Structure 1
Amino acid sequence: MKKITIKDIATQAQVSISTVSFVINGKGQKMGISTNVIKKVQDVAEKLNYRPSMIATSLRTGKTRSIGLIVEDISNQFFSDLARVIEDEAKNIDYRVFYCSTGDDDERSEELIHSLLQANVDGFIITPTQNLESSIDLLLKLKKPVVLIDRYFPGQKVSHVVMDNYEGSHSATKFLINKGCKNIAVVNNTSEMVQMKLREEGYRDALKEEGLYNENLVLHMEYHSNEEARIASIIKFFKKNAEIDAVLFLTNYMGLTGLQAFKDMGIEIPGNISVISFDDHDSFKLHTPTISVVAQPIEDIAIKSIQLLMSQMTDMEAFEVEKSLKKGKLIIRESV
């Protein structure tokens, strides 16, 4: 399909190319062009389905009407669901979204930020890796609009939108206690990111409040290990601690790994053990039995992140840093 240019519009509207250019760029009235001619040009542009060049628009306005979205892993259902809602919200305000996945690699994350800076995106929504704080500081120094999601750096003055991870974990653990579970394990990773620390703290405090905390029932798996190694780690841990009657997995990928390990071990859910995992997943709904989860408020996080980013893009000097905490939802299914 032939790309429509302002020359095509000028030919069909029977006006000069400069007249079309002034109208398309919103300068028709300022340049003394009549209302009738402005409408005629706009009607022809719409009829021809004219779309201005992003590069040309960027050179003229300094804006690309684009957002850089950097997440850990777009194949993870939590991040893909989050990205879909962010894209829908951005589309509503006529912005496009460039997706990037970091694989939780700091070097890759820095490369992506610099690539998006070169692409002149108008703002950033980022799920930061563990050592990305200095790169976020660079964006702030450059006065680039930026919002962090899912995780953040406690001492950094940057807007973020996250789930109340402490409350979610605390509530899930309390629910298991109220169901009569006394030997409740937790499976975490070794990333040391703030959201993972808060989830483990919520679990630990809930058990300590009831005098049930046992540090031996805490498993930390290597973050960058493969699935086979994670399954082996879980099997070893649960064989060593046969008294465990419930477990809280702090991410969905760890929960899925745990289900595979339990299948290999012949552990029945919920007969032998009750299970709750963070971050819902389609597999949890299809599993027999269905798996209880602490679901993140994906839509709330996405909408709020766009709102905070727009406030910066609209007036970078006037906006105030906002740290937004959204409450998750404990969804009880057949695994408890």
Structure 2
Amino acid sequence: MAEVIKGRRQPTLQDLAKAVGLTANTVSRALNDKSGVSATTRALIKAEAERLGYVPNVHARSLVLGSRKTIGVIVTNISNPFFSDLVSEVELQAQHAGYTVLLLLSYESAEREQDAIDRALRSGLDGLIAAPVQERSTAWTPIIKAGIPLVLVSRELPELNVDFYSTDNEAGIQLTTDAVLARGAKDVVLLDEDMPFSTIRLRTEGFRRSLERHGLAFDPRNNLALVPPARSFRVSQSWHADDAYRVASDLLDRGRRPDAFVVGDDYYALGLYRALRERNIRIPDDVLVMGWGNHPFTRFMEPPLSTLLLPFEEVARRATRRLLDRIQGKADDRVVNDHIVPELVIRASSMR
């Protein structure tokens, strides 16, 4: 039975064959670049497929031929510690269930993301876990139309109405902000990345709520220090400590001397530490600092950095289990929206 999307029947292979006046077998061979079809006919068929909005249902084909026992993972860049840990845990969970994993990278590019989605469609995957670029949700519509189960992680696209798992960014930043406010801070700056991601929006909102709950006004001009999106996605780490160093140095040189910083990643804290040290601003005597991520180096910083332990592995476990339940027909009808609260790790940088 053809799938109906918003009241409109999804075009089938037979519909496409009828539109071009050829057999379904010829149309299928042309779409799959098989021999026996002229270049002119192939171009005609592909143009008509695009006009009709035809999407090959590779998921249905897999059910006929037998599951490939393969799930796809699309993330921005595995140099991001969150995504590297997530991919590792997805692979482990998939292996236990007898599945292999196809890894595809978008590098924060909508074009690269589209290429990854197209490859996922061609590969006949049983299901897909993805952290979207968030530029356009419509890029994922062909996955849903093709009947491929999709679970999103980290970054949400509510209009897709699919399962979603993430660290609770809003609750996490409130934990770090509340911690410095409880230790007497009155003027707090959030040092975070200037990118249009739901994760950053939620952290900013949580930061604002925390300040206001403690009777402090939130002014973006005074309480936010944003690091420009100048990351290179082909380096060993996604965040540049020197970018944060420049932003923090500029803020301090303009006379802003907050008594606490909360940062959106521990790598930014490295740059902040240097900017403060060069100006003889002592941590924690003069300023409190809270990080984000609990990266391995944080306990070796001087002073050791208070931070958040993010639930990378738990996000991956829950997302993978949900996807496998979807693939195997075991999932209930509800759409899961699961935000997992991180754990506060207190060290010397926030203790007076």
Report the TM-score when normalising by structure 2.
0.73
Mapping 1:86-235, distance limit 5 Å: 86-215=90-219, 216-225=222-231, 227=240, 228-235=242-249
The alpha-carbon distance between structure 1 residues 225 and 306, as it changes in their structure 2 partners (threshold 3 A), is: closer
Q: Which residue of 1 aligns with 2:298?
A: 284
Provide Cα deviations, 1:203-234, integer angstroms capped at 9, x if missing partner.
11111122223421211222235644443222
What is the rounded CA distance, in whole Å, between the counterparts of 2:270 and 2:76 in structure 1? 18
What is the rounded CA distance, in whole Å, between the counterparts of 2:189 and 2:347 in structure 1? 19
Provide Cα deviations, 1:137-157, integer angstroms capped at 9, x if missing partner.
221122111111111023330
What is the rounded CA distance, in whole Å, between the counterparts of 1:318 and 1:210 in structure 2? 41
Q: Secondary structure at the match of 2:74?
A: strand
The alpha-carbon distance between structure 1 residues 139 and 59, as it changes in their structure 2 partners (threshold 3 A), is: closer
**Structure 1: segments with no counterpart, 5+ residues:** 1-57
What is the rounded CA distance, in whole Å, between the counterparts of 2:69 and 2:279 in structure 1? 52
What is the rounded CA distance, in whole Å, between the counterparts of 1:266 and 1:97 in structure 2? 50
Report the TM-score when normalising by structure 1.
0.76
Q: Secondary structure at the match of 2:349?
A: coil
The alpha-carbon distance between structure 1 residues 259 and 68, as it changes in their structure 2 partners (threshold 3 A), is: farther
Q: Which residue of 2 aligns with 1:297?
A: 311
**Structure 2: segments with no counterpart, 5+ residues:** 1-61, 233-239
Q: Secondary structure at the match of 2:348?
A: coil
The alpha-carbon distance between structure 1 residues 317 and 278, as it changes in their structure 2 partners (threshold 3 A), is: closer
Give the letter for the 1:159 counterpart: D
Q: Secondary structure at the match of 1:278?
A: coil
Shift of 1:265: 4.4
The alpha-carbon distance between structure 1 residues 92 and 239, as it changes in their structure 2 partners (threshold 3 A), is: same
Question: Once structures 1 and 2 are overlaid, which stretch shifts more, 305-314 or 205-214?
Answer: 205-214
Higher-Rg member (1/2): 1
Contact 1:130–1:191 (CA under 8 A) maintained in structure 2: no
What is the rounded CA distance, in whole Å, between the counterparts of 1:248 and 1:74 in structure 2? 25
Q: Which residue of 2 aligns with 1:15?
A: none
What is the rounded CA distance, in whole Å, between the counterparts of 2:322 and 2:230 in structure 1? 32
What is the rounded CA distance, in whole Å, between the counterparts of 2:310 and 2:320 in structure 1? 17
Contact 2:322–2:331 (CA under 8 A) maintained in structure 1: no
Superposition RMSD in Å: 2.4
Give the letter for the 2:229 counterpart: Y
What is the rounded CA distance, in whole Å, between the counterparts of 1:158 and 1:194 in structure 2? 16
Q: Which residue of 2 aligns with 1:327?
A: 341
Give the letter for the 2:98 counterpart: D
Give the letter for the 1:197 counterpart: R
Q: Secondary structure at the match of 1:111?
A: helix
In percent, how many aligned pairs have the same letter?
Answer: 25
Number of residue pairs the alignment of both structures matches: 280
Structure 2 residue 264 is the aligned partner of structure 1 residue 250? yes
What is the rounded CA distance, in whole Å, between the counterparts of 2:137 and 2:207 in structure 1? 27
Give the letter for the 2:140 counterpart: I
